[in-house]
Amino acid sequence: MKNNPKEETPSVKDIRIFRSRIIRWFNKNSRTYPWRETRDPFKVLIAEIMLRRTKADQVEQVYERLFTEYPDVEAMANAEDRKLEQILYPLGLKWRTPAFGLVAREVREKYKCKIPETREELTTLTGVGEYVAGAVLSIAYDKKEWIVDSNILRLFRRYFGIKTSKDGRRDKHVIEIAKIYASERNPRKANLAILDFTALVCTPRKPDCEKCPLRKRCHYALLCS
C-alpha cells in the first residue's frame, strides 16, 4: 500500500485484507446488544434511530423498555407522543422523540407495517438517512449494503490514507470503499465488526495502535511509527 494520501479508491485487494482482519478481530471481541440479537427489521430500525448521537450503552435500557411497551409497528404507531417522550427522555435530544411515532405510522400507512427492503424506500421515512438505511438492510436483512458514519470515515482516512472533504461521508471514493467492503459474503457481520472496531480500537483520541491488527498496513500507524 502506498503511503501518500490520495483521493481515490484503494484496490479491492487492499479492502479485502482490511475487511478480513477486522472480522477476525470481531470474532473474539464483538459487543453484545439486544438489537443485535434480533432480525426484526422494525426493532433494528428503531434502534438505529436511537443510536444517532448516542452511545450504545445509554440506549440499551431505553431500548428494552420501549419494546416492552410497544413491541411492533402497530403498537408504536398508536403510541401517545407524551408516553414516548417519557421513555426516551434518558437519551436526551428531545427533538428526536416525535420521529419514533411518525416513522411507525409511515411504515404502517405506506408499507402495511412491513419495513422496506430497499435503500430508496427506507430513506423516504422520517429519521432515516443513508447510514440508517444501510444498517437496517445489512443487519436485519443481511443485504450487501454499505454504511459510513463519522467513525468509519475516520478509520478509512487513517488506514487507507485517503483525502476527503470536510464531512467526507458523502464523498464518492469513501462510499465506494464502503460498498466494496460490504460486497463480500456475510455483510451483517462485516458491518457490525467495523462499528465495534471503531468504537473500541480506532477511537477518535488515543487509538490503540499497539494492539491493532491493522497496524502493519495502516497509513496512520506507519506515519506515527
Cβ neighbours around 75 below 10 Å, total: 12
pLDDT recorded at residue 2: 46
- What's residue 7's pLDDT? 66
> What number is the average pLDDT over the span 32-61?
93
Q: Which residues of 145-166 are buried (b: 16+ CB within 10 A; e: fewer)?
A: bbbbbebbbbbbbbbbbbebee
Burial letters for 100-118: b for 16+ Cβ neighbours within 10 Å, e otherwise?
bbbbbbbbbeebeeebbee
- What is the average per-residue pLDDT within 10-27? 97
All structural domains of the chain: 12-30+144-224 (1.10.1670.10), 40-139 (1.10.340.30)
Kindly report, residue by residue over 73-91, the tens digit of the pLDDT. Answer: 999 999 999 999 999 999 9
In the predicted structure, residue 5 carries a pLDDT above the cut 60 = no
CB 135 within 8 A of CB 178: no
Confidence band for 53, pLDDT divided at 50, 70 and 90: confident
Partners of 6 in beta bridges: 162
**Tell me: the pLDDT tens digits for 194-219?**
999 999 999 999 999 999 999 999 99
Confidence band, pLDDT 50/70/90 cuts, at residue 4: very low
Residue 223: pLDDT band (50, 70, 90) is: confident
- How do residues 113-162 score in pLDDT, each as one tens digit? 999 999 999 999 999 999 999 999 999 999 999 999 999 999 999 999 99
Which of 70, 131, 159, 181 is flagged as catalytic?
131
Higher-scoring residue by pLDDT: 96, 62? 62
Q: Is the pLDDT of residue 3 over 50?
A: no
Does 141 participate in catalysis according to the annotation?
A: no
Model confidence at 24: pLDDT above 90: yes
- For residue 62, the model assigns a pLDDT of 95
Residue 208 appears among annotated catalytic residues: no
Catalytic residue among 106, 145, 149, 171: 149
Q: pLDDT band for position 6 (50/70/90)?
A: low
Q: Which residues contact 172 (CB under 8 A, 6 or more apart)?
A: none
Mean pLDDT, rounded, of the chain: 94
- Annotated catalytic, 37? no
Percent of the chain with pLDDT over 70: 96
